[in-house]
Amino acid sequence: NERAERAEDARAIMAAGLESANKRAESAEAGLTTVKADLATARQRENAAVLAKEKAEEEAGNEQKKLLEENKKLQELIDTSETGELAKQITELQKKVKENEEKAINAEVEKKVAEQSKDQAVASAREEERKAAAEAQAQAVASAREEERKTAAAEAQKKLESALKNAKKNALSELEANLKRTRELLEQRHFTFSSFFTSFRVTGYTGNNSRVVIPPGVSSIGPRAFYGSSIDGISFPENVTIICEEAFGGCDSLVAVRLPEGLKTIESSAFWECSYLESVEFPSTLERIGDYAFKECTKLEKVTLQDGVARIGAEAFRGCSRLKYVVIPASVTSIGTDAFRGCGKVKIWCVKGSFAEKYAKQNEIPFGTLGAKK
């Protein structure tokens, strides 16, 4: 109910802000209408001035035409006059009449031009006023909208913070429930374990099942956790990141192992003397294989490491007498002493120019280039 009331208050605030912005927009629209009317009046005056100028020019043209006709008649009179003095007087009179007419016409034209210039100046001033008013109204509308945006953003931020708080609370509750379920599964399946905040480490196994399933929530297999056990199969969750030293050492019934995606480290002697281990599937997340990790796994025939592995420890595969095929990616930059000693049939497949190729040459181990026929 409190959330609903807060939401209702927020909507009321936003509605009031929107109403205020609409009123401001209406005021701006009214101002713009007034400016448009003033501009139309100025244009009408300008058109009237143009028409007056054209009329004055027309009247001047008519007067000029009359003068030309009168001049023609006077000239004819002069030509037929017997008295030269009369002709002279008439000529002077024509000149004065023409000058007076031209002065009158010029004065009228100048008057019309001045009126037109005045109207244009008024129109220009009103246009500037209109632009200023429109700009002020636009700024007012923009300011109102910015205030609305800030209000909405603040409300959204509050809602987001509340949602994050609830999500964090729910995630914590879910994590606690998962940890509880994992602990119960570990106890039910006869594992001994230690906890690390949000994950568990299996430290031992007291059950008698031949195939073991490690429950979700376990992030590591502890030292000697299954040492000497008779298990012949094991399934890991994907959040296991490390298998500690001798974790499966001496498990001579273990035949095949699929290591989980997410695993980064296999520590020393982790699968030492698993004498019936025939196949191991290595994940793409693996980075390091410790010393003696698969030493004396005498039935292991094939090892394919994924790109991402950086180190193979000393004697990691020593004594794997049936090992024939090893793929080492270019990411490997360190291979320990005697890593493949006692693997008489082994051939290393690697990238040309890689560290693995150099290692094979230095230790006189047969090798091939990846991409070539195997």
**pLDDT computed for residue 304 by the predictor:** 98
Backbone angles phi, psi at 63, to 5 degrees: -60, -40
**pLDDT computed for residue 227 by the predictor:** 96
**pLDDT computed for residue 11 by the predictor:** 81
Provide the 10 A C-beta neighbour count for residue 259: 18
Pairing of strands 218-221, 211-213: unpaired
Tabulate helix, strand, coil % of the chain (nearest 5): 50, 15, 35
SS3 assignment, position 196? strand
Q: What domains does the chain contain, in order, with CATH numbers?
A: 2-166 (1.10.287), 190-369 (3.80.10.10)
**pLDDT computed for residue 289 by the predictor:** 98
**pLDDT computed for residue 374 by the predictor:** 41
161-186 as b/e, with b when 16 or more CB fall inside 10 Å? eeeeeeeeeeeeeeeeeebeebbebb
**pLDDT computed for residue 14 by the predictor:** 80
Which two three-digit tokens encode residue 369? Answer: 């280039």
- Distances, alpha carbon 277 to alpha carbons 259, 262, 341, in Å: 13, 22, 18
Residues in the chain, pLDDT under 50: 373-374
**pLDDT computed for residue 373 by the predictor:** 43
**pLDDT computed for residue 287 by the predictor:** 98
| Pair 35, 130: CB distance under 8 Å | yes
Backbone angles phi, psi at 369, to 5 degrees: -95, 130
